[in-house]
């Protein structure tokens, strides 16, 4: 499906596709240059080629699968690849696959600042944006026009607004989790305007009053794979009321009311610091815990699911603090760890179901 | 924060008087024990005569940790990562604690499982770097083989070794409620672009301001220059110590180097550090002149890549030495010598930008291959062991490709050995020794 | 004999258990069989046999265990909820239940009203489960019935540091080769496993510690767990039927 879509985008609109590794990157630059960003979260399942053996078993499945995928030639529909500097493993992948074989087309890196909100970080972020913009403009074969970038920033704000409306109005939304996540995740590879159209169609299904009946849960973690997780949740009688997945909720920016677009690069920098806290961007831990506690309170969740990828350093280092935060709020919490399986294991299914049984019981008591 | 005079006196006394005395006492105890009834039936050692300098090393490190017990309240205390430009803190009188070095010590003393268990219960996964788990465990339980670690006033973390330190220090910052300074050194693919250098420079200037504020003192340019000079000299001296092993036989083992690296990591920029390495270098040079080897019968020379397996350094080096194998160079100990060429006292900040960005772990794989190639040639090795360190992803990713390239280009034998630098539970001694033995047999 | 009001079926990976209970929650009939691959047929047969034995039919059925969704006309609930309910029925107070089976180990905190206050399960490797012990004892050729006596006879425990089954296996073999006493090694193994379970249980243990599951029949493991948790451990009566009782209670 994606392949056909990428081909169509190229043939009908002249848009080159660029494969993008997780998590955060300035997508507006792509849109403004008519480049189609196609994100690679693995992909899930068994690695597609023997190149997976070029990294040790203790490297996360996202990097292992991406290495196998790139080296197998299956990403060749893309003209370039972008490695955001998310973690040591993606950093290693970036040099491994481009310098030692597997990917010979152009590649870019985007290294966001880790020093916190200091003047140096802001100045650097702007210069790093500029450097990526130059690289992408070279790939696109045209200069980046400020007005087109402004347009792109506006378009992506509408996408964010629609995503925020769906997530924040979750209880009133007549979609189940399986449908909702499928929709949200199509944004990882659809042309932004196409994605926006789907999102806006979905906002029409936001009703005036609550339609979700199950036990509401807050979910935080890396990436919602496997999707069958939502089937299990749904069957067990629960639904996601608040999302803090790195792949989903943490990429929905609720920008300051008046975003100054005079200099679109400054606007992008502004948005970068307005995004929800994420350990892959080195957000302050105390601030992140405050954010999660607030999300929990505001959403009225009856329980918390923490869903991580094995060996994922940035995420796993926060788990102890996350557990402590929610224990302090008296919230029930379930910890799940996966390796990009395509199906939930029997054991994980049991744990999810038991968790829903547990929170449903206390919700009744309350 | 208040610092008292009384505390300051305790700190000075501990560092200057009690530490050396205690170390001497420990030594006397050991000697007395050794002079006791000989152990019959014990095989003769495959190693050369022990290094004289080792005694001084113990004294130096004992003193450092002992003074540390009294440092908080006496002087400003910073916890710093191994790749942090500590030179900037020294003129301000900071006592620097190196959690990585402390964690290595914990591993040698085999207390990692206990400390790690404590944080695993809190939710830290066992898949995370064992240095971080050890340190956080020590913070949580207050347990440490060095008696006590002083509380930090400032946390200093540089991303030039990994991003793990960043997550780890974020957790420390949340725990201690003290400022965290992250020196972010963008990873170098090929060449570091100009705007990356500008960025690192700007941060170093911010660091000066923050470190001054915490210490309540200003950095005097001439003092900074002096410290940087001492640091540069220390780094060069360390390089000279390592270079002695180009001789055949190598006068010490690469695994000795793992222990003797402690001063350049933790005391870089101090005179004590340099005095120590002068002494060590002279002793090694003397051994070279007399043809004394680190092992008795050096038949094969190897390169080691990645961190040591701290808890089994002794076991491994004995296994190898018994069969005439010596690790004559390691990319790990070499890393602290490489920086020396870039440090320039005339331009402390500007040269720190270059020196601290161009660290082996902050550069791409072609650069890594270059270093391994260069070491292999300079030290005339016949083989290499790449320690695939479960705990350290930045150092380990790429080793499988590096193995093939090294073996092919240099026509040497290369083994990738799965282990862990800190946690004995992640390593099977039996399997490891089996692999190493099979590797050594392949040289026959 | 009092009248049966409900049936509970617990389909585990090795055994299939069925119980019928009366209005007080007491067992009036039960059966235990090895699990058959055709779970639907087997459980239908077990239910029918229980009903026939009691001369009744059409009792409500609750099911649990990994095969719970394949039990005809049953309300399915997870083992966790059912174990908590079953244990609460048996002891009547809040507490912490450690259920150690072959495939997984669970620690369930039972609240004041018999609800699940919290639970933890081992991760997917066999490290914290009965399987770990089984594999290594098999390797050492120690029979299950001899384990308790063997461990008792050990004067000291030989520490086994690896918790991964594969590593532990080779570690144990080399300990044997080094001439360490077998009973000491077996005791060390129990300690290692118990500390793993203790880690799963965490620090705060409110109320009595209860134990169920097949491993609860190994007295040496119960002792090791008690010392790892530093508190007494009470083994529930009919430890392997606790889940089935809870399943039956859920449809009363
Ligand atoms: S899962 Fe974690 S470790 Fe792996 S690529 Fe993503 S952020 Fe990096
Ligand atoms: S061992 Fe590796 S991951 Fe751990 S702190 Fe050092 S460089 Fe970072």
Q: Which of A146, A164, A188 is the last residue of a domain?
A: A146
A257 plus A127 within the same structural domain: no
Q: Residue A116: inside a domain, yes or no?
A: yes
Q: Is the pLDDT of residue A247 over 90?
A: yes
Ligand nearest to the CA of A89: 1
Residue A31: which pLDDT band, with cuts at 50, 70 and 90?
very high
Burial of C150-186, coded b for 16+ CB within 10 Å and e otherwise, reads: bbeebeebbbbbbbbbebbbbbbeebeeeebbbbbbb
User: Which residues face B329 on adjacent strands?
Assistant: B303
Q: Residue A284: inside a domain, yes or no?
A: yes
Please state, in angstroms and as integers, the Cα–Cα distance from residue A202 to each residue in A171, A180, A196, following that order: 14, 9, 10
Number of domains in chain A: 2
Rounded to whole angstroms, how far apart are CA atoms A56 and A63? 11
A26 plus A107 within the same structural domain: yes
pTM across the whole model:
0.91
Rounded to whole angstroms, how far apart are CA atoms C79 and C83? 6
A231-246 confidence digits (pLDDT tens): 999 999 999 999 999 9
Q: Residue B357: inside a domain, yes or no?
A: yes
Q: What is the pLDDT of residue C125?
A: 60
CATH number for the domain spanning A307: value is 3.40.50.11900
Beta strand A215-221 with A238-245 is parallel
- Do C14 and C134 form a contact (C-beta atoms < 8 A)? no
* Structural domain that includes position B147: 5-28+47-441
Please state, in angstroms and as integers, the Cα–Cα distance from residue C2 to each residue in B28, C23, C28, following that order: 81, 8, 7
Q: Over range B313-335, report the average pLDDT.
A: 96
With a cut of 50, list the residues of chain C below it in pLDDT. none
Q: Is the pLDDT of residue B40 over 50?
A: no
State the average pLDDT for chain A: 95
Residue A65 CB less than 6 A away from ligand 1: no
Q: Residue B306: inside a domain, yes or no?
A: yes
Q: Do C161 and B425 touch (CB under 8 A)?
A: yes
Q: Which of A123, A146, A169 is the last residue of a domain?
A: A146
A113 plus A217 within the same structural domain: no
Q: Do A358 and C81 touch (CB under 8 A)?
A: yes
Q: Residue B147: inside a domain, yes or no?
A: yes
Q: What is the pLDDT of residue B30?
A: 64
B109 touches chain C (CB under 8 A): no
Q: Distance, CA C85 to ligand 2 centroid (Å)?
A: 46
B119: tokens are: 């944080």
Q: What is the pLDDT of residue C145?
A: 82
Residue of B356 and A257 predicted with greater confidence: B356
Q: Residue B91: inside a domain, yes or no?
A: yes
Q: Do C113 and A362 touch (CB under 8 A)?
A: no
Rounded to whole angstroms, how far apart are CA atoms C76 and C247? 8
Which SS3 state, helix, strand or coil, does residue C58 take?
coil
Is there a cis peptide before residue A14, judged by omega within 30 degrees of 0? Answer: no
Helix axes B365-378, B331-338, angle to 10 degrees: 100
Q: What is the pLDDT of residue B38?
A: 39
**CA-nearest residue, atom 2 of ligand 2:** B392
Beta strand C4-11 with C15-22 is antiparallel
* Structural domain that includes position A281: 212-365
Burial of A54-71, coded b for 16+ CB within 10 Å and e otherwise, reads: bbbebbbbbbbbbbbbbb
> Residues near C121 by Cβ (< 8 Å), separated by ≥ 6?
A347, A350, A351, C104, C105, C106, C107, C200
Q: Got the DSSP string for A39-102?
A: E-S--SSS-SSGGGGGS-TTS-HHHHHHHHHHHHTTTTTSSEEEEE--SHHHHHHHHHHHHSSS
Residue of C199 and B433 predicted with greater confidence: B433
Number of domains in chain B: 1
Q: Is the pLDDT of residue A365 over 60?
A: no
A354 touches chain C (CB under 8 A): yes
Q: Is the pLDDT of residue B27 over 70?
A: no
A229 plus A138 within the same structural domain: no
Q: Distance, CA A310 to ligand 1 centroid (Å)?
A: 9
Which SS3 state, helix, strand or coil, does residue A339 take?
coil
Residue of B13 and A56 predicted with greater confidence: A56
Rounded to whole angstroms, how far apart are CA atoms A111 and B324? 46
Q: Residue B34: inside a domain, yes or no?
A: no
CATH 3.30.420.40 fits C4-85+241-249, yes or no: yes
Q: Residue B119: inside a domain, yes or no?
A: yes
Q: Over range A242-263, report the average pLDDT.
A: 94
Q: Over range B108-114, report the average pLDDT.
A: 94
**CA-nearest residue, atom 8 of ligand 1:** A87
Q: What is the pLDDT of residue C117?
A: 87
Q: Is the pLDDT of residue A68 over 60?
A: yes
Q: Residue A106: inside a domain, yes or no?
A: yes
Residue B62: which pLDDT band, with cuts at 50, 70 and 90?
very high
Q: Over range A128-147, report the average pLDDT.
A: 98
Residue B420: which pLDDT band, with cuts at 50, 70 and 90?
very high
- DSSP H helical ranges for A244-345: 264-274, 285-299, 313-328
A314-364 confidence digits (pLDDT tens): 999 999 999 999 999 999 999 999 999 999 988 899 999 999 999 987 764
B309: tokens are: 């397996």
Q: Which of A115, A146, A177 is the last residue of a domain?
A: A146
- Do C71 and C78 form a contact (C-beta atoms < 8 A)? no
State the average pLDDT for chain B: 92
Q: Distance, CA B81 to ligand 2 centroid (Å)?
A: 9
Q: Residue A346: inside a domain, yes or no?
A: yes
Q: What is the pLDDT of residue B324?
A: 97
Q: What is the pLDDT of residue B37?
A: 43
Q: Do C123 and A337 touch (CB under 8 A)?
A: yes
Q: Residue B268: inside a domain, yes or no?
A: yes
A122 plus A218 within the same structural domain: no
**Ligand 1 probe mutation, A20, A21, A22, A111, most atoms within 8 A of CB:** A22
Residue B4: which pLDDT band, with cuts at 50, 70 and 90?
confident
Residue of C124 and A200 predicted with greater confidence: A200
A142 plus A239 within the same structural domain: no
Boundaries of every domain in chain C: 4-85+241-249
Helix axes A146-168, A264-274, angle to 10 degrees: 20
Which SS3 state, helix, strand or coil, does residue C29 take?
strand
C165: tokens are: 């089954």
Contacts of B428 in chain C (CB under 8 A): 162, 166-167, 170-171
CATH number for the domain spanning A43: value is 3.40.50.11890
Touching subunits of B (3+ CB pairs, under 8 Å) are A, C
A9 plus A135 within the same structural domain: yes
């Amino acid at each position: 499906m994606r392949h056909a879509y990428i081909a169509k985008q190229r043939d009908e609109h002249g848009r080159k596709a660029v494969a993008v590794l997780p998590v955060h990157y300035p997508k507006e630059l792509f849109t403004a240059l008519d480049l189609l960003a196609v994100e690679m979260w693995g992909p899930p399942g068994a690695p597609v080629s023997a190149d997976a053996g070029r990294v040790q078993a203790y490297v996360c499945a996202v990097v292992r699968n991406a290495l196998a995928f790139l080296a197998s030639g299956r990403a060749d529909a893309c003209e370039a690849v972008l490695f955001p500097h998310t973690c040591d493993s993606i950093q290693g992948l970036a040099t491994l696959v481009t310098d030692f074989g597997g990917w010979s087309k152009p590649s870019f890196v985007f290294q966001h600042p880790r020093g916190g909100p200091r003047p140096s970080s802001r100045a650097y972020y702007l210069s790093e944006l500029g450097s990526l913009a130059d690289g992408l403009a070279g790939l696109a074969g045209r200069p980046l026009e400020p007005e087109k970038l402004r347009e792109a920033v506006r378009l992506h704000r509408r996408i964010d607004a629609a995503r925020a409306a769906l997530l924040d109005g979750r209880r009133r939304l007549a979609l189940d989790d399986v449908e909702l996540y499928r929709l949200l995740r199509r944004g990882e590879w659809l042309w932004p305007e196409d994605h926006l159209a789907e999102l806006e169609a979905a906002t029409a299904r936001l009703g005036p009053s609550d339609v979700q009946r199950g036990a509401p849960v807050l979910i935080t973690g890396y990436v919602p794979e496997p999707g069958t997780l939502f089937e299990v949740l749904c069957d067990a009688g629960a639904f996601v009321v608040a999302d803090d997945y790195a792949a989903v909720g943490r990429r929905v920016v609720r920008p300051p009311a008046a975003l100054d677009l005079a200099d679109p690069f400054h606007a992008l920098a502004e948005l970068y610091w307005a995004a929800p806290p994420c350990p892959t961007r080195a957000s302050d831990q105390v601030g992140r815990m405050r954010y999660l506690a607030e999300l929990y309170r505001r959403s009225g969740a009856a329980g918390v699911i923490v869903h991580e990828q094995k060996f994922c350093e940035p995420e796993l280092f926060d788990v102890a603090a996350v557990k402590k935060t929610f224990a302090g709020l008296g919230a029930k919490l379930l910890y799940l760890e996966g390796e990009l399986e395509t199906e939930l294991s029997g054991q994980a299914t049991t744990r999810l179901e038991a968790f829903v049984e547990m929170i449903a019981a206390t919700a009744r008591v309350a | 924060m208040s610092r008292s005079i009384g505390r300051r006196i305790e700190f000075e006394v501990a560092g200057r008087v009690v530490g050396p005395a205690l170390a001497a006492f420990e030594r006397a105890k050991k000697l007395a024990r050794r002079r006791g009834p000989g152990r019959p039936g014990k095989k003769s050692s495959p190693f050369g005569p022990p290094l004289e300098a080792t005694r001084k090393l113990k004294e130096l490190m004992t003193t450092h940790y002992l003074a540390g017990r009294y440092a908080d309240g006496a002087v400003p205390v910073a916890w710093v990562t191994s790749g942090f430009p500590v030179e900037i803190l020294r003129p301000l009188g900071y006592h620097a604690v190196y959690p990585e070095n402390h964690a290595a010590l914990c591993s040698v003393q085999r207390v990692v499982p206990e400390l790690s268990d404590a944080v695993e219960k809190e939710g830290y996964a066992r898949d995370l770097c064992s240095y971080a788990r050890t340190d956080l465990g020590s913070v949580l339980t207050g347990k440490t083989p060095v008696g006590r670690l002083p509380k930090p006033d400032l946390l200093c973390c540089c991303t030039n070794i990994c991003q793990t330190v960043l997550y780890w220090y974020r957790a420390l910052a949340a725990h201690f409620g003290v400022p965290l300074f992250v020196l972010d050194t963008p990873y170098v693919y090929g060449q570091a672009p100009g705007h990356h250098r500008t960025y690192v420079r700007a941060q170093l200037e911010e660091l000066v301001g923050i470190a001054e504020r915490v210490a309540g003192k200003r950095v005097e340019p001439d003092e900074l220059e002096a410290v940087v000079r001492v640091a540069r000299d220390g780094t060069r001296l360390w390089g000279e110590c390592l270079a002695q092993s180009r001789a055949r036989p190598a006068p010490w083992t690469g695994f000795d180097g793992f222990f003797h690296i402690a001063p350049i990591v933790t005391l870089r920029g101090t005179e004590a550090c340099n005095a120590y390495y002068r002494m060590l270098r002279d002793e090694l040079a003397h051994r070279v002149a007399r043809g004394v080897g680190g092992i008795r019968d050096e038949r094969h020379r190897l390169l080691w890549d990645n961190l040591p397996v701290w808890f089994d350094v002794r076991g491994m080096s004995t296994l190898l030495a018994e069969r005439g194998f010596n690790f004559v160079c390691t990319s790990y100990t070499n890393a602290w010598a490489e920086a020396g060429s870039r440090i320039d006292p005339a331009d402390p900040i500007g040269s720190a930008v270059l020196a601290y960005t161009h660290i082996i772990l902050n550069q791409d794989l072609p650069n890594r291959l270059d270093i391994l190639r260069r070491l292999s040639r300079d030290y005339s090795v016949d083989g290499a062991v790449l320690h695939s360190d479960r705990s350290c992803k930045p150092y380990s990713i790429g080793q499988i490709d590096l193995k093939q390239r090294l073996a092919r280009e240099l026509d040497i034998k290369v083994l990738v050995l799965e282990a862990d630098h800190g946690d004995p539970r992640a390593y099977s001694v039996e399997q490891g020794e089996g692999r190493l033995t099979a590797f050594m047999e392949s040289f026959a | 004999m009092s009248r049966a009001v409900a049936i509970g079926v617990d389909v585990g990976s090795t055994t299939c258990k069925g119980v019928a209970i009366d209005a007080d929650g007491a067992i009036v009939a039960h059966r235990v069989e090895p699990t058959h691959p055709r779970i639907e047929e087997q459980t239908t047969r077990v239910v029918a046999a229980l009903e026939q034995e009691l001369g009744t039919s059409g009792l409500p059925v609750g099911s649990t265990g990994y095969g719970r969704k394949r039990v005809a006309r049953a309300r399915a609930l997870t083992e966790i909820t059912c174990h908590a309910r079953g244990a609460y029925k048996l002891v009547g107070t809040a507490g912490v239940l450690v259920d150690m089976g072959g495939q997984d180990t669970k620690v369930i905190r039972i609240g004041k009203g018999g609800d699940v206050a919290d639970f933890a399960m081992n991760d997917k490797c066999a490290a914290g489960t009965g399987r770990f012990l089984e594999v290594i004892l098999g390797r050492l050729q120690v029979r299950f019935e001899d384990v308790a006596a063997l461990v008792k006879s050990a004067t000291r425990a030989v520490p086994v540091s690896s918790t991964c089954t594969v590593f532990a296996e080779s570690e144990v073999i080399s300990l044997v080769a080094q001439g360490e006493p077998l009973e000491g090694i077996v005791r060390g193994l129990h300690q290692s496993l118990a500390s793993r379970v203790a880690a799963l249980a965490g620090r705060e243990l409110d109320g009595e510690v209860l134990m169920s599951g097949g491993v609860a029949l190994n007295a040496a493991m119960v002792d090791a767990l008690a010392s790892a948790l530093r508190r007494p451990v009470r083994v529930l009566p009919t430890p392997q039927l606790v889940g089935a009782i809870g399943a039956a209670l859920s449809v009363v």
